[in-house]
Structure 1
């Protein structure tokens, strides 16, 4: 992605995933520990120029971020093509659509959760939301190098296109009438998560096939959006593993099976 990456893990992931995008790797003078030297060797093998710089220069490039003495200057395409992401999605698709997440740290964290859950792609609005800047990339801990992230011009229109493709569009809403465990997430699903504070916007909420909620047991009124998204994404993983075990004739485990769940697009 155009600009800078900082931190050992994000830079190393970028070197491994897209070595041609790395133009220079800057390392703080005096950093010679094994992790940094391993990164330096990988960068040189990829063809990137490696330079030692004063710590102050690294601090300026990272703009206050935790850089661990390493900054990479990168170039190249930032976002995947939405249609290509959909075409390459495995069946049943598991997609994440973000409706106006503004904090880049939340963006990076939710991308990390989606990658860990094996999602096929993440979709962001082209305007009015956080993008793949250095802070989001750092917060993703390298996940943006493994999971395609695409931008869409109109979130609501994109959700309607997904429905036409047979994908269930499911919103995450604290007031949603359906429990996150009561919906059949083993089918093709796009999870829609709203921005900080306001949640899903009205038109996006009205476009969803179902609205899921996670009941709160303690005094906290709500969960961080990346945590809430991770809970639902991994519920989808659990349901899909249970369905696969059942199809293969194995023990069903604790899953209730499709009976008692809502959802199922014809």
Structure 2
């Protein structure tokens, strides 16, 4: 299957990383030759990818804000769980993973992917069903960070068991009277952080599989943070002690 990636940073990162196959590159006629555009053209030349100059309106068929560029590429190349473990070992670092339990909003998914990549996560696990996949909208929301990150679809309970076999500590993020405040949670060592869905949080089986549930204390009048913001805060806290 083929899909269209739009936006200057997403297209640039796709071409720079080179994990996909590329078929067509379209740029809007008259687009200014500055910022990412010259870099995209250089990468396209290296990839022997011809540039098609098209009317700007034609690009808007692919997304609402293509920023004058669209890349036709193969679908996102998912990884497997073992590849994530192998990457941590190759780097000689404690395992650092993010597990998403039925995150369905593409913007939240993209934000969490971007945060995971920025904070040095080795890889992510998402459910094979009832979850946003790495679609062009998610690639765009992640600003292309998805192309750098290993993302494995699969059964979350089995993935958690596999993390524990790696001597990993699995910490779920949720609001609960019995949860441990983030400031009192040990985030060192081999670690997987589990973030629940936007509306319902962690599913019962996934929650029961976690070694510990943590929460972010809040002082304001707003009841809660969205999944992407809360997950990003915990990732930053974990990255700070690695």
* TM-score of the superposed pair, with normalisation by structure 1: 0.85
Structure 2 matches for 1:212-251, cutoff 5 A?
Answer: 212-240=214-242
Unaligned runs of 5+ in 1: 241-266
Tell me the equivalent position of 1:28. Answer: 28
Aligned length: 237
Q: Which runs of 4+ in 1 moved over 3 A?
A: none
Could you tell me whether the CA contact under 8 Å between 1:100 and 1:194 is conserved in 2?
yes
RMSD: 1.6
Q: Which has the larger radius of gyration?
A: 1
Q: Deviations over 1:113-159 (max 9, x none)?
A: 0111101001111111000101100011111111111111x111221
Tell me the equivalent position of 1:104. Answer: 106
Could you tell me whether the CA contact under 8 Å between 1:2 and 1:78 is conserved in 2?
no
State the 1:2 CA deviation. Answer: 4.1
Which whole-Å CA distance do the structure 2 matches of 1:226 and 1:28 have between them? 33
Q: Deviations over 1:39-62 (max 9, x none)?
A: 223212221121011112100022
Pair 1:127–1:182, CA change in 2 (3 A): same
Could you tell me whether the CA contact under 8 Å between 2:3 and 2:136 is conserved in 1?
yes
Which whole-Å CA distance do the structure 2 matches of 1:17 and 1:32 have between them? 24
Tell me the equivalent position of 2:199. Answer: 197
Could you tell me whether the CA contact under 8 Å between 1:89 and 1:120 is conserved in 2?
yes
Query: Structure 1 residue 122 and structure 2 residue 121: aligned?
Result: no
Structure 2 matches for 1:1-266, cutoff 5 A?
Answer: 2-18=2-18, 21-35=21-35, 36-62=37-63, 64=64, 66-75=65-74, 78-90=77-89, 91-152=93-154, 154-175=155-176, 177-240=179-242
Unaligned runs of 5+ in 2: none
3-state SS of paired residue (2:60): helix
Q: Deviations over 1:193-246 (max 9, x none)?
A: 011110101110111000000011101111121111111111112222xxxxxx
* TM-score of the superposed pair, with normalisation by structure 2: 0.93
